[in-house]
Homo-oligomer: A and B are copies of this chain.
Amino acid sequence: MTATPTTLRRSRDIVTPALRAVLDRLDETSRAQARYHLGWTTPDGELAAVEGGKAVRPALALLSARAAGAPAEVGLPGAVAVELVHNFSLLHDDVMDGDTLRRHRRTVWAVWGVPSAILTGDALLALAQEVLLESGSPNAAAAGTLLATATRDLVRGQVQDLAFEQRTAVPLDECLDMVAGKTGALLSASASIGAVLAGAPAGTTAALATFGAQVGIAFQVVDDLLGIWGDPAVTGKPVYSDLRSRKKTLPMTYAASQPGAAGERLAAWLAGTDPVDEAALPEVAAMVEAAGGRDWATEEARRRMELAESALATVPMPDPPRDELVALGRFLVTREA
């Protein structure tokens, strides 16, 4: 297995200059906000020493071109495009969720206002298609269609997630469907867009898309586990953060739908409208565990990773990108756990 940090670093070495170049096309205001959002600058435009994101999605896009037997560079327009769509969604989500901090820095809307965050997000979404379509690839339109449908699935997942906040109970299958949209869709597109640009056979792109989608769900399950039991020193979030907001996460949704005392008490707590009692949070976490939510989620993450890796095994591809894809998937779901 190739070491994933190397995969990610090599990918950033290729993608970051391309991303910088396309951001130069934006108007000065949106460009400054996009650069700040990516961790490259301070709000005043000074160079920042902030560590940016891991840029997992672009790495998947480059690997998927190699999985189709093409050089990584064939996937580059796709890598830039998925990173732009990811950041479009973060900018808009921060507005919708009212989050003032992301990675310990103020969010774009918190610094420049809501209209700025909406417009910079809109510009990044348009730019994503532009970068892809002007690539001159004979498969650009197919890649653009993939990106557009993934964007719609991503938006649909966010629509569902927001609607869940107004509901007292959410069935597990609806929660899984939300996660497939909000987290799975863009990872699926990232893991297949390079192969689409490379003109890979439909079987290969479908297997890569399944890989990305299943890794996405596994990733979210793990994220949800960390949202309840994660170490604040590692996650950067307060302990029990998803409980404090009565969030309908996968382990919670599973546990609250189980028969028995713990599940029923949990469903009642989730449906409550009184302010969340801080002192009761350890007990709520214990109820999720007692109702089987922790075990189910741990097993579900494992099962989804198995589905992801099996999908890759069904199609021929060179060993190095296959190994790096598997390693990257495993890295994603074991981070910070």
Listed in ascending order, the chain A residues whose CB lies under 8 Å from chain B are 25-27, 29-30, 88, 92, 95-96, 114-116, 118-119, 121-123, 125-127, 129-130, 133-134, 140-142, 144-145, 147-149, 151-152, 155-156, 158-160, 162-163
Residues of B within 8 A of A156 (CB): 26-27, 30, 123
* Distance of A34 from chain B, by nearest CB (Å): 12
A115 interface neighbour in B123, B125, B162, Cβ under 8 Å: B162
Question: A133 to B148, Cβ gap below 8 A?
Answer: yes
Contacts known (A114-B96, A145-B134); A159 close to B119, Cβ less than 8 A: yes
Question: A152 to B126, Cβ gap below 8 A?
Answer: yes
* Distance of A125 from chain B, by nearest CB (Å): 6
How many copies of this chain does one complex carry?
A: 2
Question: A129 to B144, Cβ gap below 8 A?
Answer: yes
Question: A145 to B126, Cβ gap below 8 A?
Answer: no
Residues of B within 8 A of A88 (CB): 122
Residues of B within 8 A of A123 (CB): 152, 155-156
Contacts known (A125-B125, A141-B140); A152 close to B96, Cβ less than 8 A: no
Question: A27 to B130, Cβ gap below 8 A?
Answer: no
Residues of B within 8 A of A95 (CB): 114-115, 118
A162: nearest residue on chain B (CB-CB)? B115
A206 to B123, CA, bound (A): 24
Which of the listed residues A88, A140, A155 has the most CB atoms from chain B within 10 Å of its own CB? Answer: A155
- Please list 8 pairs of residues, one from A and one from B, whose beta carbons are closer than 8 Å in the complex, sorted by A's number: A27-B156, A27-B159, A92-B122, A96-B114, A125-B126, A130-B149, A130-B152, A133-B144
Residues of B within 8 A of A118 (CB): 92, 95-96, 118
Question: A155 to B122, Cβ gap below 8 A?
Answer: yes
* Distance of A198 from chain B, by nearest CB (Å): 16
A147 to B126, CA, bound (A): 8
A119 interface neighbour in B119, B147, B155, Cβ under 8 Å: B155
Residues of B within 8 A of A30 (CB): 155-156, 159
Contacts known (A27-B160, A115-B162, A118-B96); A129 close to B155, Cβ less than 8 A: no
Residues of B within 8 A of A116 (CB): 159, 162
* Distance of A50 from chain B, by nearest CB (Å): 24
Residues of B within 8 A of A141 (CB): 133-134, 140-141, 144
A26 to B140, CA, bound (A): 24
* Distance of A20 from chain B, by nearest CB (Å): 17
Residues of B within 8 A of A122 (CB): 88, 92, 121-122, 125, 151, 155
A148: nearest residue on chain B (CB-CB)? B130
Residues of B within 8 A of A96 (CB): 114-115, 118-119
A126: nearest residue on chain B (CB-CB)? B151
Inter-chain pairs besides A25-B152, A92-B118, A116-B162, 8 sampled, C-beta below 8 Å: A27-B160, A29-B163, A96-B114, A114-B114, A116-B159, A123-B152, A123-B156, A125-B126
A137: nearest residue on chain B (CB-CB)? B141
